[in-house]
A and B are shown apart, each in its own frame.
Chain A
Amino acid sequence: AQKVTQAQTEISVVEKEDVTLDCVYETRDTTYYLFWYKQPPSGELVFLIRRNSFDEQNEISGRYSWNFQKSTSSFNFTITASQVVDSAVYFCALSEGILSNDYKLSFGAGTTVTVRA
């Protein structure tokens, strides 16, 4: 069963528009972490943000913000005032291995974001 679902396959926007990426996860654990990673065409996965299951406070970091809602098992990510350099594939990931201490990641299939000038 897919633990992380990213329903949006591709999103295309014009520069300066906001982009919101959806992520729904599934876990039986009460303690877990959620992440967003960015993968530009070069291939390297770049860590963006992390949120633990105990903290539902939504935050803003620069042009990035996230909305974590445990009740709906969603962890959405927003890029404000998008730029061409934001064009990449964005992955949502879940780490359930807190009690087992393995911290291995389960990734969604990714959302390709294209920002047009």
Chain B
Amino acid sequence: DTGVSQDPRHKITKRGQNVTFRCDPISEHNRLYWYRQTLGQGPEFLTYFQNEAQLEKSRLLSDRFSAERPKGSFSTLEIQRTEQGDSAMYLCASSPYGTSSQETQYFGPGTRLLVL
């Protein structure tokens, strides 16, 4: 049983650079969520997809952030012109919407981003 995977696990970049993260959900899960977690805080919702459709974006997701899930399978989260305030753990989760467990999200290991 393969869980949610994320790549890379760690990313160090310089301010102003673009970065892209990938998330592969549990294979039969049609919903995919992105969260951001800063040090000492709980995760905060960023956006979510059902299949390939992006259904909601948080106000935390500025214009520099974009997420895609082109074929309804893996998803990418891109941050353009990174700022030091973008340093955080980016977590991906998936869930089986339409089933008896649709409310439960299963998380990946996260991508820890450090912007210098």
A residues near B, CB below 8 A? 4, 33, 35, 37, 42-47, 50, 52, 91, 93, 95, 98, 101-110
Contact = CB atoms under 8 A, between A and B. Distances in A.
Contacts of B20: none
A50 B56 CA distance: 24
A44 B37 CA distance: 11
B105 A47 contact: yes
Contacts of A108: 42
Given A45-B91, A102-B55, A104-B33, A33 B103 contact: yes
Contact of B89 (A33, A43, A46): A43
Question: Dominant SS at the B interface?
Answer: strand
B48 A43 contact: no
A95 B41 CA distance: 18
Contacts of B40: 109-110
B45 interface: yes
A103 B102 contact: yes
B105 A105 contact: yes
B109 A43 contact: yes
Nearest to B91: A45
B19 to A, nearest CB: 18
Contact of A35 (B48, B102, B104): B104
B21 interface: no
A98 B103 CA distance: 8
